[in-house]
Chain A
């Protein structure tokens, strides 16, 4: 590691503000000695680049699952003053409001053990996933605005959820500033048939078991118990959000020139938040975020139907309840305290999860005492975690934490290392049923391709940014 990167304590590193020309502040990287060894030099460079954008508030941040992205690193957080700072599509990513939701059933995993293989087949058949997957909800152009404005509530209105789901989604599953007029026809066309589809790559639907509870009070508030059968769902705004980002990068590259914003990397293209270009992107991004919430809600409806059929139980008895839904690729207008003053900031979380602490007014009443659930998927062979946000996160990270395990290997390296192995059989031997549609998906997504989420979560807990609530073990995984 570059000798200018200084260790502050066992969980934090500092990239000083003189690390490269044009930085407007320092970068704090959350990593212990072991994780720090795996951080690519390019990812640290990208974290430093984010600090060159105008209007940076406090330090830029990198979470322990950091790896190289475009513009911002994955695992990057940067907040900019709403008054005179910027907004950057590179700080959000192509999959706008990619996120995770966790559902908890009334069942014990051991009582479902015999049905797991059948359930995996039914989920694979019933959840549209992968390249070219059909089966999504097909809306005409006139109908398309409603999910962009209403988000998850739109899917609930279509019978794909319960009204009480909305309180357990970040921002209630919809951002209020969505502007469908800021959306191109191409984005509308890409989004038309993709609501209610999982996608590909690292997106998944996973049936899990709660194996450990670390914080009884928080677990009780979240409705979790040891041995419980849960479902985790990871997807985003699909082609709709990808096109919104593609359109915006082109527009922002031109805007950055007009506003004389120096770009350390073309993917950091940005415009002042208060500018016409900045507001257009913010309106379009919020519409894409709402599309993603509608998508995860629609998949929740499908999942509940499949579970009810697979277990022969009614909705009330199965009670597949939404624990929470988090966004981990997003820019949000939030109020934070900085140097003793309350300020409005555009907080960019790219591969980072909101982690608001106890008492925050944006939390649902039933979680207010314990903090926001922070859902951290691991890999399909080891485990995932449910954490809770802390007061320290509010003071130190703009209420943000990591978003997953973080990739350790490229897709190519993972595929090479998996050659000659039968990943599905290896996982089945560990009691994990896996179904994937892509020819290389299982190799590219094999557990060793990721950092061990235990270490990533350990850094967040050690640093006091989030506390461990529960550990979840995969039982059945559906991938695109």
Chain B
């Protein structure tokens, strides 16, 4: 797992790098969990996500916005994400199997409340045999 939390002026972001598109998106999911509650989530329940998009950038934004939606409506945060993804131009897609639990503040820290994933400064690129992503989240 390889992600890093970054900060913009009023907001936060995640950068990640991985060998495959699926691992890259799984790392972004791990970064989201770390931002929202500092981690320490257990694998208690499952959620599945399937998405299609025109570009890797839209796919990543839409995937994180799905995680925002689950967090906001159910309090669900993923402890582990197994993602299968293809970044084929014009026909990007993913299926993600998430294992996690509902936030319980007697056990979890209150982290940042993420409003949305944005296209601001968004980068998804392949270099040196690795996929790299940088995404900014509105806090």
Contact = CB atoms under 8 A, between A and B. Distances in A.
Interface of A: 40, 67-71, 74, 93-95, 130-132, 186, 189-190, 192, 199-202, 239, 242-243, 245-246, 249-250, 253, 265-267, 407, 409-413, 437-440, 480
16 contacts: A69-B10, A93-B138, A131-B113, A132-B75, A132-B105, A132-B110, A199-B113, A200-B139, A242-B116, A243-B69, A243-B116, A265-B120, A267-B118, A267-B120, A410-B9, A413-B7
A265 B119 CA distance: 9
Contacts of A199: 113
A246 B65 contact: yes
B116 A437 contact: no
A132 B138 CA distance: 17
Q: Which 10 A-B pairs have the closest CB atoms?
A: A412-B7, A200-B113, A410-B7, A70-B120, A266-B119, A242-B115, A239-B72, A94-B115, A131-B113, A439-B109
A79 B62 CA distance: 30
B96 interface: no
A190 B122 CA distance: 25
Given A94-B138, A130-B113, A267-B119, 20 more contacts: A69-B10, A70-B120, A74-B10, A95-B115, A131-B113, A190-B69, A200-B113, A200-B139, A201-B112, A239-B115, A245-B116, A266-B122, A410-B10, A411-B7, A411-B12, A412-B5, A412-B7, A412-B12, A438-B110, A439-B109
Nearest to A240: B72
A476 to B, nearest CB: 20
B36 interface: yes
Which residue, A192, A243, A409, has most C-beta atoms of chain B within 10 A?
Answer: A243
A131 B10 contact: no
Contacts of B118: 70, 94, 249, 267
A438 B111 contact: yes
A130 B113 CA distance: 7
A131 B65 CA distance: 16
Interface of B: 5-12, 36-38, 58, 62, 65, 68-69, 71-73, 75, 103, 105, 109-113, 115-116, 118-120, 122, 136, 138-139
Most buried by A among B37, B68, B116: B116
Nearest to A246: B116
Given A189-B73, A200-B113, A407 B105 contact: no
A117 B119 CA distance: 43
Contacts of A132: 71, 75, 103, 105, 110
A187 to B, nearest CB: 10
Contacts of B62: 250
Contacts of B119: 70, 249, 253, 266-267
B30 to A, nearest CB: 18
A93 B122 CA distance: 17
A69 B120 CA distance: 8
Most buried by B among A95, A130, A439: A439
Contact of B8 (A68, A94, A131, A246): A68
A437 B10 contact: no
Contact of B9 (A67, A93, A95, A190): A67
A267 B109 CA distance: 31
A71 B119 CA distance: 9
B5 to A, nearest CB: 8
Contacts of A130: 110, 113
Given A70-B120, A242-B138, A439 B9 contact: no
A339 to B, nearest CB: 34
Contacts of A245: 116
A409 B10 CA distance: 8
A239 to B, nearest CB: 4
A74 B138 CA distance: 12
B120 A71 contact: yes
B107 to A, nearest CB: 12
B139 A131 contact: no
A230 B12 CA distance: 32
A67 B10 contact: yes
Contacts of A250: 58, 62
A445 to B, nearest CB: 10
B90 to A, nearest CB: 14
Contacts of B11: 411
Nearest to A186: B69
A186 B68 CA distance: 11
Nearest to B75: A132
A192 B120 CA distance: 28
Most chain B CB atoms below 10 A, which of A71, A74, A131, A438: A131
